[in-house]
Structures are given as C-alpha cells and as structure tokens.
Amino acid sequence: MNTFDLNEVTIGYEQKTVLNRLSFSIPHGKITVLLGANGCGKSTLLSTLARQRDALGGDIAFRDKPLDSYRAKEAARLMTFMPQVNVAPDGLTVEQLVRFGRYPYQTFFKRYSEDDERAVERALAFTDTVSLRDTLVSNLSGGQKQRVWIALALAQESETILLDEPTTYLDMSHQIEILDLMYRLNRLEGKTIIMVLHDLHLACRYADHVIALAGGNVYREGSPNDVVDETFMKDVFGLKVIVTEDPLYGTPLCVPYSHYELNEKRPT
Amino acid sequence: MVGKERSEDMKKTWIKLLLLIICLPILSYISLRVGVITVSHEDVLTFRADGSSQAMIALADNRIPRTIVALLVGSVLGLAGLIFQLVTRNPLASPDILAVNAGASLAIVLVTLFGFSSIASFTIASLIGAFIAGVIVYLLSANGGNVMYMTLAGASLAALFSSFTQSIIAYEEGALDEVLFWLTGSVAGRSLTLVEALLPWMVGAVVLVLLLSKELETLSLGDQVARSLGQNVGVIKFVAVTLAVVLSAFGVALAGPIAFAGLLAPHLAKYLFGTAFFARLAGSALIGSVLLLAADILGRVILFPREVTVGVVLAVIGGAFFIYLVSVRQGVFKS
Amino acid sequence: MKTYRFRKGPVSFTLRKREIELALLLVVGLLLSIYFGLAIGDTFLSPASLAALFIGGGDAFEQLVVFEFRMPRVLMAITAGASLAVSGHLLQLTIKNELASPEIFGIVGGAGVATATFFTVFTDERTNQLSVPLAYIPIASFLGAIVVGVFLFYLLKRGVPPVRLALVGIGISIFSQGIVQFMMLASNVYRKNDIQQWLTGTVYAATWNQLKIMVPFVLLFLLAALLIERHVRPLHISEATATSIGVPVRGIQRGTLLLSCLLAGIGVAFVGAIGFVGLMAPHIARQGLKLPYIWATLLVGATIVVLADVLARTIFYPYELRTGVMTAVIGAPYFFYLLRRMMKGSIR
C-alpha cells in the first residue's frame, strides 16, 4: 500500500497552474522529501495532500481511498500537517496547544478522556517538552516552538505526518534535532513522514525517497543516491556542482561552484 | 532607450496631471450652474457680488462658496489621506477610518454643547479633536503595528467617538438639526468669511506638504531604509503626521466629517501615477477636489429638488466602491 | 493547576479549580448587578424587602415597579448583553483578531439602516404618526442585520477570507452611516429623535412581551454557539492547523458567521445599538480573567449591560442616561488599555 497515489493531478491557483498532470506515489512507512527550486510548487503540492486546498483536477488517493472521500475528523486521525509558519494565539500554554491535537477524537460528551491525556503526555515526552508544559508558547525559543508544534501533530496520533520546511529559521544544531526527531518517529513508531526541505544535504541524509519537482512536473524520483547527481542539479536548480559522498553516511553531498565559475567570469 | 521611455513616462504623467487640472474649472463651472435655482451661462459670466437677481444671490451666497469649499476640502483630505497611508504604511489609513474625523467631530459637538459657535472655536476644537485622534494613530503605528490591528482599532475608536457624539446630540435636541447637518458633511451653507479665515493656513499647509515631497518619498520606503539613507525619521514622521492632522482638522472645520475622499484619492492617484511620487502627491490633492466637487454636484441632482449632502453621497458611493475594492479586487489592499 | 476529572461511560470532561472559582465569581457578580438593577430607582429596596416581593409580600406599587418595569429591563439587559457579547466572541475567533465586533462587521450598521428606513417609510406625512405599530421595529432591525449577514456570508462563500470581511464591514458601517444620516435629515423632528434614540440604544422601554419573543431565540442561538465553540476554538490557532486536526473549516466559518449575525441582530433588535459590549466582553473574559470560553463572555456581557443600565439610571438622577452612552463610557478606558497593549507590542 502506498500512502498517496496521484494520478494526473493538476495543482495551482485559479488563474495559474503550478503543477500539471502529476502522477506519482508516496510510499508507506518511509521518509519522503519533496525537492525543488523556489516557487516550483512543492509547498502547494504538500498543502494539497494535507487537504488545505483542493486540486484543480485529477485523482489523489490516500491509503487507497480518494482523499476527498474522508470526513475531516477521519482524515485527521490518519494524517497531520505542520505548516511552515506557526503563530500561537496569545496566552496559550504549551499543554493547552498540544491538547488541540486531540480534537479529532473528541465529541460533545467526550471532552477529554484518559486516552487523550495519555496521547498528550506521550507527545510531550517524545518531543522533550514535558518541562515546558505550563510555559506560554509565545515565550519559547525557535527550536522549542518547533518541537511544541510537532508535539501538537504527534498528539493527533496519526500514521502520516506532513511537514512544510520544519527546519526554517533554525540554526544547524536545532535543524539536526528536528530531523533526528522525524527519523526516530519513522524508525521507532513506523510513521510515514512527508516533508518539504530546503537543505539538500540534510534532505539526502534523512530521506528514504525523494521526489524532485521542476518545470511543473516530477523531474525525477527515487532514493537520494539515484536522484541527486550533477545533471539533476543543473536541471532543477540551474547550479553546477560536484556531487561527492557525505563522509559520515555516504549519502550524496553537493559542493556548488560559484555562479561566476560557470560563466568563467570570476574576478581574480 | 531607457532614457526615452523615462521621458515618455514623464510626458504621460504631465498629461494626466494636466487633465486633472482641467477637470477642476469644468466641474467648478457645472457646480456654479446646477441646483434648485437656475443660473444661466450669462449669469456666471456677468457675476457681480452686489447683484440683486435671484441668480446673482444664489451665486454669491451659495454656489461660489460651496465650490471653493469643495475644492479646498477635497485637496486637503486627499493629501492628509496620502500622508496617513505613508506614515502608517497602512493602505487603509485615512482621516475617516483612523478616527481623526470622528475625533474632530466630537470636539466640535462638545464646544457647541458649551455654547461656543464662532468660527474660531469650531476650528480650534476641530484641531484639538483631530490632534488627539492623530496622536493615538501615531502611537498605534509607532511600534510597527500590524496593519489589520491598526485599521480595526482606528475603526473601533471612530465608533467610540461617534457614539459619544450621537449621545450628546440625543440630549441636545434643540441643536440637533444644525449639528446633524454639519455632521453629515456638507460644503453648502459655508460663508466665505470662514473660508477667508482658513485659506492662508490651508494653502500654507498644502505648500509645506508639497515641499516635503522628497522627505515623504524617502519615508515611504520604510523606517529602516529611510534611516539608513540618513533621514531623521522621528522628526519627519512627527512633522508629517502633524501636517496631516492639521489638514484634516481644517477639512472637518469647513465641511464636517467627510468619508472616503481621504481614503480613495491617494489610491486613485497611485493607480494613475504609479511610482512618480510628486505626481502622486499632487494627484491626490487634485483627485480629492474632483471627488468632492463631483459628489456635491451629484448630490444636487440625484434627488432633485432635494439636496443630498456631499458627505452622504461620498459615504454611499465611496462605501460601495470600498467594499468592492477590499472584497473583489483583493490585490488593491494587500495587508 | 488543580483539576477535577469526571468520567462516566461515554461522558468525560475536566474541570479546573481556578475556572470553577472564577465562574462562581462571575455568577455572583451578575446576581449582584441584577439586585442593583431591581432595587435601585425612585424607590430603593433593601435585599430583604426585595426578597419579600418575590414571595408575594410588599405593597402593590412596589410589586408593579419591580415586576412590570425593572424586571423586564434587567432581563432585557441580560439577554441583549449576552447575545452581543457572544456575537463578538465568535467573530473574534473566526477572524483571529481580538478587535472584531458586530459594529466593525457592519451588522449593527445594517440594522440601523433598516430601522431608519422603517421610520422614514412608515411615517404619515400629515399626522407625523407611525402608520404601523411600533412593535414592528425589531423585525426591521433584525432583518437589516440579517441582510448584512447574508451579504458577508455570500462573500465568504465566494472565497473572500474572513479577515477581509472585517474590512468590508468597516465599509458597510460607513456606508450605512451615510444613509442613516441622510434619512435623519430628510425626516421630521420626531422621527429624527426616534432614529437617534435607536442609534444610542437603551433598555429603558423593555416589556415582558418583547422578552417573550426575544428570549427563546436568544436561548436557541446561545445554545448553538456553545455547541459550535469546540470547533471554532482551533480556528484561533490558524486555518491550517484547524484543517490538520480535522475541523471542517469552511463549514464552521460559515456557521459561525451566520450565528454571530443572528445573535447581533436579535441583540440590537429591541434595544438599539448598544455599543462596545461585543468588543469588550470577550476581551475581559479572555485577557482579564484568562477564560477564553463562551460561557465566560456571556456572563461578562450580561453583567456589563445590567451595570451600565444601573449607572445610566443613577449617575444623573433623576435624569436617565441611555444605556448605550454608559457602555461607551465604559468602553473609553478599555481603549486606553488596548492602546497600551498595542504599544507594548503584545498585540501583533
């Protein structure tokens, strides 16, 4: 079973098509990263998969059923989405925020059950935010905030997690921290992780599967080793690079030339 | 090539400005003739202040003053609106939405309550009221305030002021009619003495704004950029807001609170002139005048022989246009 | 934070000690203001004599004053206050902005236009009397509010984001102000006063008959608000997060908008445009008492209007101010508070 199967899917805005007739699948239980240059539509694609917007055409299947056949809560028990920019309203504590993740399991009579409590505790523990539970979200540092929003997603206890650039604005140590968290979620809890990442190096290191978008369609997909090479970088990012091996993990590592080098006009 | 395009652009800008300027005498002429009392073409040409015919009296007592007031108030509001929008970096800022008009109105109604009714007291009250509201607006924008919050806070404050105004009127039933008429915003029934008293100040303020054009343009790039270009942002902002407040206060003292002219004129100017800043500035003033004159004329014919005040006309037409802009043409007011 | 958990079969919920205490405090506050509302006036009643009235004691005059004049008035203040406050609460959640209110959204403006039109159209030119019963005015006001509501709803459905609806509302307010002023200028002095009175708003003339019509609707709408609350609160975080956790965002937005218009419409229908309750009450509950819940807003709103009415009756005794004047007076310091918060940058 695949988590997502897209067939001839067109994505975009009313006046402008961003991605045209896409067909690909996102494997179950893997870490999949969407790659592409700025404005190639990867975030738009991700938010379409996350039910944030409707596709303009084509069929999207989620766990072998049409995505739009899921009721809102039903889908939310199966997938969660973390937007790129998250701002909590004033006066909300970490625990209060994370509890919102239990919404899809609650009814008018069943407000906050033992299951809910357990899930929230687990989410806080997994993201190492237990000690922050009574802190106001607005008072947290960037890295802490990001972990709290991930905790909200985890409290949802959904199998699939979609994240839009979860490492933006973070320094390198916090970037690694967040991605390690995703890795643990995938390997220990068997979650399917789908994310958009900017940092190609880290994307290659953590992804099992990458899907590269360029020119309004899928340029190439597969394991990072199969996808990322010199031609790929030239076509997708317009950048001349040398692809070498990550000395630690053996994943592709791109060392870019300066643009001057490319035009042989580099000042001496 | 670039130079040629630039001079083409300049030429177009000048032509547009010229067209706007030409609009003024045409509209003024129409404004002199249209109304309950018929004024013929000859009457306009042979006008003498001491004339005794009905047409002459209508011209002297009504048409000429209201035309002048409309011209003045329009340009003053247009400029004030542009300055507010620049300083607050809020495309929805204007004397009406940011409560400056409402503040001036409340102050005027208050002094009427205490029995003052001279021109001077009206003007001073209007200045004080506008100034208080202006200070609040300035404070709201000083901290790089969010555009949406600033707008909603301004609108709520305006609602607060006007609910006080309404309360006072409700208890002063005797004064109701006169004040109410003034509150709807009208250019009619203003004597030329009032205009004469305020004219030098208004012209002075307008000239000052035009002289500050370069500084305002720099300010429009944002505080940080302006500062790095060597501008004393604090001083310029203060001067600009003070000028805008003074301009709107004069406008309110003369014609009452008039909605939307101050909001729409700068936007139309931007639409017409794009980035040519001085043209935008001058254009805002001209468009403001055109809007007020046209609305006043329209108010005289739309329910003939009954007159609808210019404030009502602008509130209704401007309101509809505003709703269209913020809901359908969403790009116009990106926040 | 001390919490009590309650579980029985499929029913489970959590109560926090602090919230229970505050709830009790709010209820006591409301009861106290109700007492003032019933006891203060030309004849002052001690708690004992008021209690005596309720068990059938007291003289006939006191009975009349309390049960026919003061009681409907207090109840009207409660119903109007609660519905306006909850309307504001819902609007603030939907557009994620604590400055939203029925006034800002133009709902009150629409009601005002309808009322002014009613007075203008149904006035007999010769006798200066209304040609239809005065009792129809609430219908006109309510319809006016609903027309604006339907318009906003239509825009929302066409994809205009909720935040923009607030701007549209500002436009509608100014638009309606223009029309109302024109109608006031065009109508005779009596009608002018009538319209003016509506624009300030008062619970002065409340009757049992009005309450009989109003209360069932208000209860129904408030119940709906309490039911929808759970689904609206996630919207306060962001639309994206709300969607992610499974809130049917569009449906909830539409439902909330409709409900707030209904509440605001019925809130102003009988008493006129009593202002700032919809703006202040949710804010006092959320920021002041740290109770971001509809029940808290409801209690605060009701208390504000009852107290405003008591103050309006007593400050310039024997003259009565209008309730709307008092709520505006209470609203003024609120603005300074708001201003301070905005300057400190705690409102983004």
Q: Can you give the three-state secondary structure of C224-259, one letter per residue?
A: HHHHHHHHHHHHHCCHHHHHHCCCCHHHHHHHHHHH
C-beta separation of C218 from C79 below 8 A: yes
- From chain C residues 284-343, the ones with a CB under 8 A of any chain B CB are 321-322, 324-325, 328, 331-332, 335, 338-339, 342-343
Rounded distance between C-alpha atoms, residue B244 and residue B247, angstroms: 5
Among B31-35, C10-14, C222-226, C254-258, where is mean pLDDT lowest? C10-14
**Mean of pLDDT values over B321-328:** 83
Place of tokens 């202002």: C275
C-beta separation of B101 from B252 below 8 A: yes
Rounded distance between C-alpha atoms, residue A85 and residue A168, angstroms: 9
* Closest to B101 (Cα-Cα) out of C178, C275, C336: C178
Q: Does C96 touch chain A (CB under 8 A)?
A: yes
* Closest to C173 (Cα-Cα) out of A142, B322, A147, A96: B322
C-beta separation of C268 from C80 below 8 A: yes
More confident residue, C194 or C311: C311
Share of chain C above pLDDT 70, in %: 94
Candidates B113, B152, B165, B314, partner chain C, best to mutate (most C CBs within 10 A): B152
- Phi, then psi, of A59 in degrees rounded to 5: -120, 130
pLDDT at A266: 53
pLDDT at B168: 81
Strand partners, C6: C13
Confidence grade of residue B142 (pLDDT, cut at 50, 70, 90) = low
**Mean of pLDDT values over A2-27:** 90
- CB count, 10 Å around CB of B7? 10
Confidence grade of residue C219 (pLDDT, cut at 50, 70, 90) = very high
Distance from CA of C179 to the nearest CA of B (A): 7
pLDDT for residue A263 is more than 70:
no
C-beta separation of C84 from C261 below 8 A: no
- From chain C residues 218-247, the ones with a CB under 8 A of any chain A CB are 227, 230, 233-234, 236-241, 243-247
- Phi, then psi, of C123 in degrees rounded to 5: -100, 130
pLDDT tens digits, A24-50 = 999 999 999 999 998 888 999 999 999
Distance from CA of C217 to the nearest CA of B (A): 28
- Phi, then psi, of B150 in degrees rounded to 5: -60, -45
- Distance set, CA B335 to CA B84, B330, C167 (Å): 15, 10, 11
Partners of A92 on chain C (C-beta within 8 Å) are 237
Among A165-169, B176-180, C8-12, C196-200, where is mean pLDDT lowest? C8-12
Rounded distance between C-alpha atoms, residue A183 and residue A205, angstroms: 10
Rounded distance between C-alpha atoms, residue B26 and residue C307, angstroms: 58
Q: Does A50 touch chain C (CB under 8 A)?
A: yes
Rounded distance between C-alpha atoms, residue B7 and residue A267, angstroms: 36
pLDDT tens digits, A111-147 = 778 888 899 999 999 999 999 998 999 899 988 999 9
pLDDT for residue B136 is more than 90:
no
- Amino acid identity of residue B182, one-letter, is W
**Mean of pLDDT values over B267-292:** 90
Q: Do C241 and A104 touch (CB under 8 A)?
A: no
Q: Do B322 and C171 touch (CB under 8 A)?
A: yes
Beta pairing, strands A31-36 & A192-196: parallel
Specify the DSSP class assigned to residue A258: P
Rounded distance between C-alpha atoms, residue C134 and residue C209, angstroms: 13
pLDDT at C135: 80
Whether complex ipTM tops 0.95? no
Partners of B327 on chain C (C-beta within 8 Å) are 155, 160, 164-165, 167-168
pLDDT for residue B143 is more than 70:
no
- CB count, 10 Å around CB of A87? 13
**Mean of pLDDT values over A98-110:** 88
pLDDT at B163: 84
Partners of C13 on chain A (C-beta within 8 Å) are 111-112
> Among partner residues A103, A110, A112, which is closest to C247 by beta-carbon distance?
A103
**Mean of pLDDT values over C231-254:** 92
Q: Do B322 and C324 touch (CB under 8 A)?
A: no
Q: Does B215 touch chain C (CB under 8 A)?
A: no
Q: Give the three-state DSSP class for B115.
A: coil
C-beta separation of C105 from C166 below 8 A: yes
Residue of C nearest to A109 (CA): C11
DSSP string computed for A124-153: HHHTT-GGGTTSBGGGS-HHHHHHHHHHHH
* Closest to C111 (Cα-Cα) out of C144, C134, C88: C144
Distance from CA of A43 to the nearest CA of C (A): 13
**Mean of pLDDT values over B131-152:** 75
Please give the mean pLDDT across all residues of chain A.
90
**Mean of pLDDT values over C30-54:** 89
Helices (H), C158-244: 162-186, 189-200, 208-232, 239-244
Q: How many residues does chain B have?
A: 335
C-beta separation of A4 from A65 below 8 A: no
Rounded distance between C-alpha atoms, residue A151 and residue A153, angstroms: 5
Q: Does A9 touch chain C (CB under 8 A)?
A: no
pLDDT for residue A265 is more than 60:
no
> Which token pair is A243?
């692809």
Partners of A109 on chain C (C-beta within 8 Å) are 10-12
Q: Does C341 touch chain A (CB under 8 A)?
A: no
pLDDT tens digits, B209-266 = 989 998 998 888 888 888 888 888 888 888 998 899 999 888 888 888 888 899 899 9
Strand partners, A82: A163
Distance from CA of C341 to the nearest CA of B (A): 10
pLDDT for residue C197 is more than 90:
no
- Phi, then psi, of B260 in degrees rounded to 5: 75, -25
**Mean of pLDDT values over A181-206:** 94
**Mean of pLDDT values over C74-79:** 96
Q: Do chains B and C touch (3 or more CB pairs under 8 A)?
A: yes
pLDDT at C341: 74
3-state helix, strand, coil in chain C (%, to 5): 75, 5, 25
pLDDT at C128: 74
C-beta separation of B299 from C181 below 8 A: no
Q: Does C105 touch chain B (CB under 8 A)?
A: no
Q: CB burial class (10 A; 0-12, 13-18, 19+) of residue C145?
A: buried
Beta pairing, strands A160-164 & A79-82: parallel
**Mean of pLDDT values over B76-100:** 88
pLDDT for residue C228 is more than 90:
yes
Rounded distance between C-alpha atoms, residue C344 and residue C348, angstroms: 10
**Does residue A247 have a cis peptide bond before it, meaning omega lies within 30 degrees of 0?**
no
Indicate if the alpha-carbon torsion angle C53, C54, C60, C65 is positive or negative: positive
Confidence grade of residue B1 (pLDDT, cut at 50, 70, 90) = very low
CB pairs under 8 A between B and C: 166
> Among partner residues C160, C328, C344, which is closest to B164 by beta-carbon distance?
C328
Confidence grade of residue C348 (pLDDT, cut at 50, 70, 90) = very low
Give, in degrees to the nearest 5, the angle at Cα C145 between C130 and B163: 80
* Closest to A32 (Cα-Cα) out of A247, A227, A231: A227
Helices (H), B172-232: 176-183, 192-211, 213-219, 223-228
Among A72-86, A200-214, C194-208, where is mean pLDDT lowest? C194-208
* Closest to A50 (Cα-Cα) out of A98, A25, A83, A13: A83
Put residue A191 in one of left, alpha, beta given phi > 0 → left and psi -120 to 50 → alpha: beta
* Closest to B247 (Cα-Cα) out of B277, B217, B284, B193: B284
Rounded distance between C-alpha atoms, residue C289 and residue C292, angstroms: 8
**Mean of pLDDT values over C167-177:** 90
Rounded distance between C-alpha atoms, residue B107 and residue B93, angstroms: 21
Place of tokens 């602090």: C18
Q: Does B96 touch chain C (CB under 8 A)?
A: yes
Place of tokens 């902002």: B237
Rounded distance between C-alpha atoms, residue B205 and residue B72, angstroms: 12
Distance from CA of A102 to the nearest CA of C (A): 8
C-beta separation of B176 from B112 below 8 A: no
Rounded distance between C-alpha atoms, residue B33 and residue B300, angstroms: 11
Three-state SS for A54-94 is CCCEEEEEECCEEHHHCCHHHHHHHEEEECCCCCCCCCCEH
Rounded distance between C-alpha atoms, residue C72 and residue C38, angstroms: 10
In terms of pTM, does the model score above 0.95? no
